[in-house]
Amino acid sequence: MYLKLVPENTNYRFMWLRKFSFPLSMAIAVASIALFFTVGLNYGIDFKGGTVIEMKTNESPADIAAIRAGLGELNLGDIQVQQFGGPDEVLVRIQQQEGGELAQQAAVENVRSAFADSVEFRRVEVVGPRVSGELAQAGTLAVVTALVVILFYIWFRFEWQFAVGAIVTTINDIIVTVGLFVVLQLDFSLSSIAAILTIIGYSLNDTVVVYDRIRENLRRYKKLALPELIDRSINEMLSRTLMTSVTTLLALIALYTFGGEVIRSFTLAMIFGIVIGTYSSIFLAAPMLIFLNLRPGGPEKAKEEDDGAKATA
């Protein structure tokens, strides 16, 4: 009588799919890494230094060509001008100026005085070369340390295989999300880091929940072969996993659609991350346990002894 995303008592053979899901995940991750090193991220000013100016022109729609020409006269090197939000809203990116902090400030001053009469400056952000390097370093350090401590916590609470599985899965999610940033050339800024952190958080939560059920079933079905046991666990949790993902996605899609231009790329990354996080906890985190030999012993042997366990279940 209630809305159900999956029927009761499903029995999908997820572990059989690992033959495809493992290589597929690996291929996507490798492709992401390759893209990261060849095409590269579209770093925002937070990590690259430079200036971002958001302006609202007095006339609507904005004359982007004229703005570009006006900026061109100022000799600021590489500039990008694009429409951003409404028809009279324009985003201008100016590359890091050579000659350090002072040159950077001078460039902004020039832009301000050149456009003072024709536009309203809604946002001006200038990041100098020194700060941008530090921001990147601090962000990376925080993420890496968090991962290491989580590794130990899960090791302490579960078994080492779970810990390794969770971390590998999380790193995969990070890599693939970074891949998305490369493919779509989304602006990679400090708030992208926040988006990635959210994805890590969600993916970990999902993975731990699935692992928790696997651990419970490991105690309950002492003789069941690991692939079947994992399949059973995932099927039991399938309804929950999809319910949670769909609900979170609903909230995120609302933010993406109505939340305004500033958070759009940010929410897009999170939507992608939720999908990846859900996929990876089923198709990556769980089969990793088989790969890491969580319960040694061949399936044939286990099947024979399993009949008794099945009867009691």
Within 96-115, which residues bind another protein (CB under 8 A)? 101-102, 105, 108, 112
By C-beta, is 70 or 201 nearer to another protein? 201
Applying CB under 8 A, which of residues 95, 239, 292, 303 lies at the interface with another protein?
A: 239
Q: Which amino acid is at 229?
A: L
According to the binding rule CB under 8 A, does residue 220 interact with another protein?
Answer: no
CB of 182 to another protein, least distance (A): 21
Nearest approach, Cβ of residue 172 and another protein (Å): 17
Question: Considering only residues 66, 183, 251, 275, which one is a binding residue for another protein as defined by CB under 8 A?
Answer: 251
Q: How many CA within 13 A on the CB side of residue 24?
A: 10
Nearer to another protein, 49 or 179 (CB): 49
Of residues 114 and 124, the one with the C-beta less far from another protein = 124
Least Cβ distance, residue 76 to another protein (angstroms)? 16
- Pick one of 13, 254, 301, 308: the residue that binds another protein (CB under 8 A): 254
Least distance CB 19 / another protein (angstroms) = 29
Contact 15, 227 (CB under 8 A): yes
Residue 195, interface with another protein (CB under 8 A)?
yes
200-219 binders of another protein (CB under 8 A): 200-202, 204-205, 208-209, 212-213, 216
The separation between CA 249 and the C-alpha centre of its own chain, rounded to angstroms, equals: 14
Helix (H, G, I), strand (E, B) or coil at 294: coil
Burial of 70 from C-beta contacts in 10 A (0-12 / 13-18 / 19+): middle
Q: How far apart are the C-alpha atoms of 104 and 111, rounded to whole Å?
A: 11
Instruction: Using CB under 8 A, pick the residue from 42, 95, 191, 235 that binds another protein.
Output: 191
Contact 274, 202 (CB under 8 A): yes
The answer to whether residue 4 forms part of the interface with another protein (CB under 8 A) is: yes
Q: How far is the CB of 164 from another protein (least distance, A)?
A: 15
Among 237, 284, 285, 290, binds another protein (CB under 8 A): 237
Closest to 171 in 3D by CA, of 127, 122, 204, 211: 204
Question: At its nearest, how many Å lie between another protein and the CB of residue 140?
Answer: 10
How far apart CA 271 and CA 93 sit, in angstroms, is 26
Q: Is 142 in the site for another protein (CB under 8 A)?
A: yes
Give whichever of 31 and 242 is closer to another protein, judged by the CB atom: 242
Q: What is the SS3 string spanning 45-98?
A: HHHHCEEEEEEEECCCCCCHHHHHHHHHCCCCCCEEEEECCCCCEEEEEECCCC
**Residue 222, beta-bridge partner list:** none
Is residue 125 part of the contact set for another protein (CB under 8 A)?
yes
Q: Which helix (H) or strand (E) holds 269?
A: helix 264-280
User: Under DSSP, is residue 119 helix (H, G, I), strand (E, B) or coil?
Assistant: strand
Handedness of CA 288, 294, 300, 303 (dihedral sign): negative
Greatest alpha-carbon span in the chain = 84
* Cβ at position 23, least distance to another protein in Å: 28
Question: Smallest Cα–Cα separation from 93: which of 123, 122, 52?
Answer: 52
**252 touches another protein by CB under 8 A:** yes
Site for another protein in 13-52 (CB under 8 A): none
Determine, following the binding rule CB under 8 A, whether residue 260 of this chain makes contact with another protein.
Answer: yes
